[in-house]
Structure 1
Amino acid sequence: MRTLTWRLVAIAVLLVAVTAMAIGAVTTLAMRDTLDARLDADVRDALMRTVGGPGGPRPGGDFGPGQAVGTVTAVVPDAGRTTGQRLAESEDGWPEATPLTDAQLDALTDVTAGDQPVSVDLPGLGSYRVLAADVAGGQVVVGLPGAEAEATVDDLVRLELLATLLGIAAAALVGTLVVRRQLAPLRDVARTAHRVAELPLATGEIDLDERVPERLTDERTEVGQVGSALNTLLDHVENSLAARHRSELQVRQFVADASHELRTPLATIAGYSELARRRPDDEVALRTALTKVDEESQRMTALVEDLLLLARLDAGRPLAQETVDLTSLLLEAVTDARVLAPEHHWRLELPEHAVEVRGDEQRLHQVITNLLTNARKHTPPGTTVTAAANAGGFSVHDDGPGFDAELTERAFERFTRGDRARHREGGVGLGLALVAAIVDALGGQVTLESRPGDTTVTVWLPED
């Protein structure tokens, strides 16, 4: 698997190589065109010096004045034998004319007169640029060697190849250093992710304090965007793990509390059943046993039904969504409360017009009943309890002793009871938990404010 560093460096090197080769190719072509143009101009000048002097072309292809070493001339008559010479450098350093071979003359004979020089390969001499001109009785051919231009181009190509190789090597070295330095922050982010991946996250309370350093979370850069996104993900994971841990603890506590609450009526039923078995002829004992068994059975039934309702709500079971007359429910519930607890002062505050909300009528009646029952059971006689309807919900207020401060925040948790602050008359601590679960399932909200002499539970519900 090729790393990002390797790929970036390879791309940089490839770009340098392609660019260098493109520049080299253009430079070489431009140089060759320039040298060829200059050589062609020299060939034309050489031809003019040969045929343009007084009296026309020189006999036998003699050179005119000012010709360069390496120049070849040939006279091709309309009839007769072709003759030609080459201007070479003698041993003493002076130029001298040497005759051309038959093969060389044959190559020059094939050249036709024209305006542009052409390339001809002369045996033993190499490539020449030659130009022919018609004269009286035949034509004259003049040529200059192209070896020098070719050598210049070859030297340029070799220099370009060397420069390209050096450029590639430099690009690979510098690119590796630069890319490694630029990707160092990304490696720091990766190390943070690896440290988090090595943490045991399956069970228990998780201490997830690993974060990408702040210097690597600047969202104006790509690495900063990755670092910031990873920190956001870690925050979400930490919150989710904390919520999962709290849920696990609540489930364990819920099971323990439910088992404890069920154990008491079961023990009572077992005890009275044993009493009835041992004293089958005692009618008083039998009636007492049956009465207690019936009472405890009803208590367990109510507890199990509450637990089943909570389980259904936790599973997301939808409740009915219909128009409910909240004022009618409050009136009915307060009327029932007056009958059950005449020693309390019950007040009902209703607006001039009926308050209608969206919800499940049966469950809303259960919410109101639970709140009034909670106020009745956990306040002393003489307490004033006020149920008030308002736009979008209702509230239940009492002037009893209130909740303990440490219980206020968890009053809606399951099996929470304010035994020290209120007078307990039965109950297992599911009343307010059911209220919160039902209201949440209906899309509403419930809050509690409590201090001695002033306790208010407020319920907001979606309006119709």
Structure 2
Amino acid sequence: MTRRPLTLQRALVIGASALVAIALLIMGVATLTALRAFVYDRLDEQVQGGLMMVGGQRDGGHGQFSGTDAGASPAPGPSPSSTSGSGGRGPSPRVGSLQLVVAADGSVQSSSYTQSDGTVVTLSTDQVAILQADVPTDGVPVTADLGEDLGAFRVAARDSDGSTVFSGISLADSAATTTALTTILVAVGAVTLLAAIAGLSVLVRRALRPLDRVAAVAQRVSGLSLGRGDVDIPDRVAQADTDTRTEVGRVGASLNDLLGHVQAALAARAHSENELRRFIADASHELRTPLASVRGYAQLTLSGPEPMSSTQQRSLERIESESRRMGTLVEDLLLLARLDAGQRLRVDDVELPLLAIDAVSDAQAVDREREWRLDVASDDPLTVPGDEDRLRQVVANLLRNAHTHTPPGTVVTTSIRREGDEAVLSVTDTGPGIDPVVADTLFERFARGDRARNRDAGSTGLGLSIAQAIVLAHGGSLAVRSRPGETSFTVRLPAFRSSPVTADA
């Protein structure tokens, strides 16, 4: 499945939003990292201060420590002490702090932990063992986990007069602070990101409106039919969107310049076509009289009583034949010029089946070497609005094309059928087909199919172009489909649904 491409607006919003999200993430991570480093630095200072205080109490207090006597052994687990605080000898211990003194022989001289309610309890044997195993005695605070009962601590230890003194502070408050800040940063970051996406959507949409207007002009112009005739391109980009100081303005101004050049080129082309069309019409009209005179004199000379040599008679016959062929060519050129000029055709009710029957009968009478077939539905009159003489010319040209470009023995079938609101007339032959090289130029004027089919002399190359011009003038279409052994020309014309209504020309 092909992925749907992103629009410029969506790509800009997504890209900018991604950058904002990355910036918020970096800011949050940096804030949490800085806060954690600051909190740990403060805790380490407090731990080291507590370590110095415990050492000072031991050195100057005759072996008395808060929580237990110097020679007392700790209880096997945390349990309330008989005193709260230091018994009046110095400040009360901080909530969440612990103190431990281990003698040189490994016995615990003193241990205490101040709970959140101010109660002082002793450390268990396992917790003492963890501190002895995980905390070096170099006075540098480290993190030690004392289990689910107490959690993580920042603890420092040092040797003092043969004993090891431990001091620590719980990380619970720091963890709670970090967690709360993380929650706040995530919530604020999410709201900020949503607000940024909404703001970017509005800003980008407003910024791209001029580009949308320029694209709308280009789209409307692309839908115009610029192939033939007088073409006007009234659409232009608005003056407000052609400021060359902006990127969109440069695009709009360039599009206006391009449309101006295209319209000028189309006007020049239309003028040239009109001049050529007028010349062809005038020349064809003027040539009709002298060609008729040449043909008339040739016929008069041939029918005269004076004897002629065989060369003279042959020459006059060729003069008559070529003048007749040239007259046909002139008539075809004059008809094309009139159709190109938009000459309106007569509109009558034309019954296609009768027209096809006459055309096939004429072709069969002229050519006995091919098999001419007719396939017409008898229950549908298939009446179309149009010029009967011109439509007869279309069918005759298609049948003449099959006669000219197919070998003897070819089967040529003319069929008529209804498809919806259209009458479809097809002329299909079983000849060798059309060479793909010339298929694209088949309806061009003076196009020849010599490379594709056998043909007799006499073709002007205008038959199919005339047929197409007449069909287009009737609001229909002419198409061809060809392969070896089957070539089909299909004419589609608007047809009456029920009783036909005659339209005036």
Identify the TM-score tier after normalising by the shorter chain.
Answer: 0.5 to 0.7
1:55-134 equivalent positions in 2, closer than 5 A: 55-56=59-60, 59=63, 61-62=65-66, 65-66=90-91, 67-88=93-114, 95-110=118-133, 111-123=135-147, 124-134=149-159
Q: What TM-score results when the alignment is normalised by the length of structure 1?
A: 0.57
Per-residue CA deviations over 1:326-375 (Å, capped at 9, x if unaligned) read xxxxxxxxxxxxxxxxxxxxxxxxxxxxxxxxxxxxxxxxxxxxxxxxxx
Shift, 1:254, TM fit: 2.4
Secondary structure class of the residue paired with 2:127:
helix
Q: Name the structure 1 match of 2:390.
A: none
The counterpart of 1:22, out of the listed 26, 38, 49, is 26
Change (3 A) 1:226 1:58: farther
Shift, 1:280, TM fit: 4.1
Change (3 A) 1:209 1:80: closer
Change (3 A) 1:80 1:282: closer
**Structure 1 gaps, min length 5:** 301-464
**Structure 2 gaps, min length 5:** 67-85, 327-505
Q: Which amino acid aligns with 1:21?
A: L
Aligned-pair Cα RMSD in Å? 2.8
Change (3 A) 1:87 1:277: closer
Shift, 1:199, TM fit: 2.2
Is the contact made by 2:157 and 2:167 (CA closer than 8 Å) also made in structure 1? Answer: yes
Change (3 A) 1:76 1:57: farther
Query: Aligned partners of 2:192, 2:229: CA distance in 1, in Å?
Result: 58
Is the contact made by 2:217 and 2:235 (CA closer than 8 Å) also made in structure 1? Answer: yes
Q: Which amino acid aligns with 1:117?
A: P
The alignment status of 1:206 with 2:231, answered yes or no, reads: yes
Shift, 1:4, TM fit: 1.4
Q: Which amino acid aligns with 2:138?
A: G
The alignment status of 1:169 with 2:155, answered yes or no, reads: no
Shift, 1:182, TM fit: 0.8
Q: Name the structure 2 match of 1:346.
A: none
Q: 4+ residue stretches of structure 1 with deviation over 6 A?
A: none
The counterpart of 1:154, out of the listed 175, 179, 195, is 179
Query: Aligned partners of 1:134, 1:39: CA distance in 2, in Å?
Result: 21
Is the contact made by 1:205 and 1:242 (CA closer than 8 Å) also made in structure 2? Answer: yes
Shift, 1:226, TM fit: 1.5
Shift, 1:208, TM fit: 1.2
The alignment status of 1:247 with 2:272, answered yes or no, reads: yes
Shift, 1:33, TM fit: 0.7
The alignment status of 1:187 with 2:187, answered yes or no, reads: no
Shift, 1:153, TM fit: 1.4
Query: Aligned partners of 2:251, 2:143: CA distance in 1, in Å?
Result: 64
Change (3 A) 1:53 1:77: closer
State percent identity of aligned pairs: 38
Q: Would you say how many aligned residue pairs link Structure 1 and Structure 2?
A: 286
Query: Aligned partners of 1:71, 1:270: CA distance in 2, in Å?
Result: 130
Shift, 1:213, TM fit: 0.7
Is the contact made by 1:113 and 1:132 (CA closer than 8 Å) also made in structure 2? Answer: yes
Q: Name the structure 2 match of 1:13.
A: 17
Secondary structure class of the residue paired with 2:153:
strand
Q: Which amino acid aligns with 2:143?
A: S
Secondary structure class of the residue paired with 2:95:
coil
Is the contact made by 1:8 and 1:179 (CA closer than 8 Å) also made in structure 2? Answer: yes
Secondary structure class of the residue paired with 2:59:
coil
The alignment status of 1:52 with 2:68, answered yes or no, reads: no
Is the contact made by 1:50 and 1:57 (CA closer than 8 Å) also made in structure 2? Answer: no
Q: Name the structure 1 match of 2:293.
A: 268
Q: Name the structure 2 match of 1:230.
A: 255
Change (3 A) 1:100 1:57: farther
Is the contact made by 2:98 and 2:112 (CA closer than 8 Å) also made in structure 1? Answer: yes
Query: Aligned partners of 1:139, 1:14: CA distance in 2, in Å?
Result: 54
Secondary structure class of the residue paired with 1:72:
strand
Query: Aligned partners of 2:302, 2:119: CA distance in 1, in Å?
Result: 150
Query: Aligned partners of 2:238, 2:98: CA distance in 1, in Å?
Result: 80
Is the contact made by 2:58 and 2:64 (CA closer than 8 Å) also made in structure 1? Answer: no
Change (3 A) 1:275 1:96: closer
Secondary structure class of the residue paired with 2:270:
helix
Per-residue CA deviations over 1:81-116 (Å, capped at 9, x if unaligned) read 2244334358xx6x4431111111111222221131
Query: Aligned partners of 2:99, 2:63: CA distance in 1, in Å?
Result: 11
Per-residue CA deviations over 1:1-60 (Å, capped at 9, x if unaligned) read 322111111111101100011111111111111110000000011111111247357747
